[in-house]
Amino acid sequence: MITPRINLLDFDADQMAAYVAGLNEKPFRAKQLMQWIHQRGVSNINEMSDLAKSFRANLIDKAEIAPLPVIKDELANDGTRKWLLDVGAGNAVESVFIPEDDRGTLCISSQAGCAVNCRFCSTGHQGFSRNLTSGEIIGQLWFAEHLLRNEPGAVRRIETYPTPGWEHTGRVISNVVMMGMGEPLLNYDNVVSALRLMLDDRAYGLSRRRVTVSTSGVVPMIDRLAQDCPVALAVSLHAPNDALRDQLVPLNQKYPLRELLAACERYLPFAPRDFLTFEYCMLDGVNDSDVQAKELVRLLANIKCKINLIPFNPFPESGLKRSPPQRVQAFANILLDSGMVATVRKTRGDDIAAACGQLAGDVIDRTRVRERAVHDNEIIQPITWLNRLDD
């Protein structure tokens, strides 16, 4: 029987050290491997020239560097780029890169589908397929980072001593947001293992304030994240009271607002900045009235936060509509007039459907071609909701 190869992308630094020790190799070999894989983007073990030949041969036998296969690679007019990735069994997830003048944000997925089933989310409507492994999560960053780096006009390698550096001439990933498909805190161990690699200087070396976990409110895991890996936290709120949030985000029935906000307050001392972000998806006639804006002000009065108003990205099965821009502005004004920090997220990648779950939904749903044509051409004006999180 052939034993499946270990995916070296699955290991954070400690796990790599343990693996290398198990192969009777010296500890510094683990560091070398981390650098070859994550810093230099090498997937061919034979190219790892400073590893002993016998070690390489042993590794080739047992291990591999295996990111998710790419099904589709799309580039929007504004530079937003989206990859659809195959996770097997007819399922797919997506990663989206959003370049801006002063940063490049990669949005990555944590699960194939999602069990939380929020009313307004097309990933939720697809149901839950499976958790991604930590290798499949960090593999999204590994793939995008090295692909973009090696593209002409992106960044240029400079041979500085003692370590070579990168001159940023164009696109490069400076921020990661876990806002793709899935609920990251329901795949906790694998997500934390991937987050550790994002922060690790031997891998991607991102600062904690440039890595954001977005959650629908898995209260016990918010507390664990504060201890294990306190990156920036964005909480998907979407309603100013339990009655409405119970309907929009069913997880609220398990962890109601009082408990969720208490967990947010407990997280704040660990957060990389002195505020949290609340996401609020603007749904026409559902959660966008003046009364609800005032209720939101009261709800969040005692917590240091920024509120990100997200224009709803409609999809046919939702039966919901995007709030008109004037309504979003009026809602924002009430928050701003009461001294809160609020922003309206701008749309990106409109021409390539760069939105959570939309493209993956198309692939899964191969049979519904007619409906999809309507979805692509008439109804959907897709957006992403990823930019400027750390403003």
Interface with ligand SF4, residue 216, by CB under 6 A: yes
Cα gap 263→357, rounded to integer Å? 28
In the complex, minimum distance from the CB of residue 110 to ligand SF4, in angstroms, rounded to a whole number: 9
CA separation for the pair 169, 158 (Å, rounded) = 11
CA distance 360 to 291: 36
Tell me the helices (H) and strands (E) count for the chain, helix number first. Answer: 13, 16
The least CB distance from residue 185 to ligand SF4, in Å, is 9
> 168: which residues sit within 8 A by CB, 6+ positions away?
155
Structure tokens at 219: 């209260």
Give the total of residues touching ligand SAH (CB under 6 A): 16
Ramachandran category for residue 238: left, alpha or beta (phi over 0 → left; psi -120 to 50 → alpha) = left
Q: State which of residues 7, 58, 91, 117 lies at the interface with ligand SF4 (CB under 6 A).
A: 117
Beta carbon nearer to ligand SAH, 140 or 214? 214
Q: Does 183 bind ligand SF4 (CB under 6 A)?
A: yes
Report if residue 126 touches ligand SAH, rule: CB under 6 A.
Answer: no
Q: How far is the CB of 113 from ligand SAH (least distance, A)?
A: 11
CA 243, CA 253: separation in Å to the nearest integer? 9
Q: Which of 149, 175, 153 is nearest to 164 (CA)?
A: 149
Binding mask 214-243 for ligand SAH (x = CB under 6 A): xxx-------------------x-------
Per the annotation, the verdict on 305 as an active-site residue is: no
Tally of CB atoms within 10 A around 206: 20
Q: Is 74 a catalytic residue?
A: no
* Smallest separation (angstroms) from ligand SAH to the CB of 348: 12
179 contacts which partner out of ligand SF4, ligand SAH, none, CB within 5 to 8 A by kind? ligand SAH
Interface with ligand SF4 (CB under 6 A), residue from 182, 311, 349, 361: 182
* CA distance linking residue 124 with residue 209, whole number of Å: 28
Among ligand SF4, ligand SAH, none, what does residue 117 contact (CB within 5–8 Å per kind)?
A: ligand SF4
Q: Any contact of residue 312 with ligand SAH (CB under 6 A)?
A: yes
Single-letter code of the amino acid located at 184: P
Residue 282 binds ligand SF4 (CB under 6 A):
no
Q: Which single residue is written with the structure tokens 């230099």?
A: 40
Q: Which residue is nearest to ligand SF4 (CB)?
A: 124
Minimum CB distance to ligand SF4 smaller for 85 or for 297? 85
279 binds ligand SAH (CB under 6 A): yes
For residues 294-308, one letter each, b for 16 or more C-beta atoms within 10 angstroms of the residue's C-beta and e for the rest, the string is ebbbebbeeeebbbb
Residue 30 found at the interface with ligand SF4 (CB under 6 A): no
Q: Within positions 81 to 110, which residues make up the interface with ligand SF4, using CB under 6 A?
A: none
Q: x/- site string to ligand SAH, residues 158 to 187, per CB under 6 A? A: ---------------------x---x----
Nearest to 311 by CA among 212, 384, 237: 384
Q: What one-letter code names the amino acid at 302?
A: N
User: Distance between terminal CA atoms of the chain?
Assistant: 53
Question: For the range 40-45, what are the long-range contacts, defined as Cβ-Cβ under 8 Å and sequence gap of 24 or more?
Answer: 41/142, 41/145, 41/146, 41/149, 41/150, 43/67
Q: Which residues sit at the interface with ligand SF4, rule CB under 6 A?
A: 114, 116-118, 121, 123-124, 182-183, 216, 236
Q: Which residues sit at the interface with ligand SAH, rule CB under 6 A?
A: 120-122, 179, 183, 214-216, 236, 279, 281, 310, 312-313, 356, 385
Residues recognised as catalytic = 94, 356
Q: Residues marked as binding for S-adenosyl-L-methionine?
A: 182-183, 214, 236-238, 313
Q: Residues marked as binding for [4Fe-4S] cluster?
A: 114, 118, 121
